[in-house]
């Protein structure tokens, strides 16, 4: 039961990202062609877990690897139409996500992370703000942001 739930959650995450992007692309292409900025942006939020795999987090890591791969492929497809696609990959962020893990995973996270000062949602938001405010000729494809103490 638990495995099936995680598989569904991972599938929903990837499919949701693809469906949303598919629906948005025509509007973004039009905005890049006709709008005052002459550029449009898609910013997807992945995770450090999309760059490194971790035991007991297979579905989460696979999903986040998918976010990165999808974002890069989409970037290549729409770049010549001045739609920029970026992915922000945060390290440990102080959210409720940890409480959604099993007790074993929570113990592993506590052992690895200890009492480090985690990122706040505002830190991730500022990274996104940086990406979308670049001039038309600058595309930031990927940003990895992690807490200073995270190793």
User: 60 an active-site residue?
Assistant: yes
Q: Which of 10, 40, 50, 60 is catalytic?
A: 60
CA separation for the pair 15, 84 (Å, rounded): 20
| Conformational region of residue 38, where left means phi above 0, alpha means psi within -120 to 50, and beta covers everything else | left
Provide CB contacts within 8 A for 128, sequence distance 6+.
Answer: 43, 45, 88
Kindly state the tokens that stand for 45: 């939020």
The residues annotated as belonging to the active site are 60
């Amino acid at each position: 039961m638990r495995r099936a739930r995680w598989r569904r959650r991972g599938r929903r995450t990837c499919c949701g990202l693809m469906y949303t992007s598919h629906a948005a692309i025509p509007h973004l292409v039009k905005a890049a062609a006709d709008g005052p900025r002459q550029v449009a942006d898609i910013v997807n939020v992945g995770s450090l877990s999309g760059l490194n795999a971790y035991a007991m987090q297979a579905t989460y890591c696979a999903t986040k690897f998918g976010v990165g791969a999808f974002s890069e492929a989409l970037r290549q497809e729409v770049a010549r139409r001045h739609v920029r696609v970026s992915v922000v990959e945060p390290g440990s962020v102080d959210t409720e996500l940890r409480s959604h893990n099993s007790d074993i995973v929570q113990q592993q996270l506590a052992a690895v992370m200890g009492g480090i000062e985690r990122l706040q949602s505002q830190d991730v938001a500022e990274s996104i703000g940086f990406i979308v405010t670049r001039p038309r000729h600058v595309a930031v494809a990927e940003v990895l942001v992690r807490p200073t103490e995270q190793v």
